[in-house]
Amino acid sequence: MRDMGNTVKRLAILGSTGSIGQQTLEVVRALPHRFRIVGLAAGKNIDLLTKQINEFKPRFVYYQNAKAHPVNAEYEFLSLEDIACHPQVDTVVIATSGKSGLSPTLAAVKAGKNVALANKES
């Protein structure tokens, strides 16, 4: 395990609108000096994702139905895999349900990222 000391950890949360994703964001709110959200991804809850984007100002966003999400110059719309292995991401929290987290998990591991699996299947 890598010692990251007191540096701010840059997190991507895949499944940010689910219960595990929301609990992870609660930890980030409580420890803003330790964590920064750089990526958020959600499946269907566009309203909650929009609130999370406005609060955490991530650099990267994924939404299952890209056409339903408004384009915004403040973040890049990337695939789950691209968010998971992006150089600006230190740790990826996989809080998705079902098999949707498999491909980004493999991409993150291959890229040498820290991966936190948090779902019913793992």
Residue 57, in any domain of the structure: yes
Torsion, Cα of 76, 31, 20, 22 (10° steps) = -60
Please report the DSSP string for 33-69 in residue order: TTEEEEEEEESS-HHHHHHHHHHH--SEEEESSGGGS
pTM (global) more than 0.85: yes
The tens digit of pLDDT for each residue in 72-84 reads 668 888 999 999 9
**Residue 79, amino acid:** S
Percent residues over pLDDT 90 in the chain: 71
Q: Is residue 76 part of a domain?
A: yes
What is the CATH classification number for the domain harbouring 85? 3.40.50.720
Q: What percentage of the chain exceeds 70 in pLDDT?
A: 87
Split into its structural domains, the chain has a count of 1
Residue 122 forms part of a structural domain: no
Q: By residue range, what is the domain housing residue 107?
A: 9-117
- For residue range 9-41, list pLDDT tens digits in order: 999 999 999 999 999 999 999 999 999 999 999
Task: Please give the Cα distance from 92 to 108 (Å, whole number).
Answer: 7
Tell me, what's the pLDDT at 1? 45
**If DSSP codes are grouped into helix, strand and coil, which group holds residue 12?**
strand
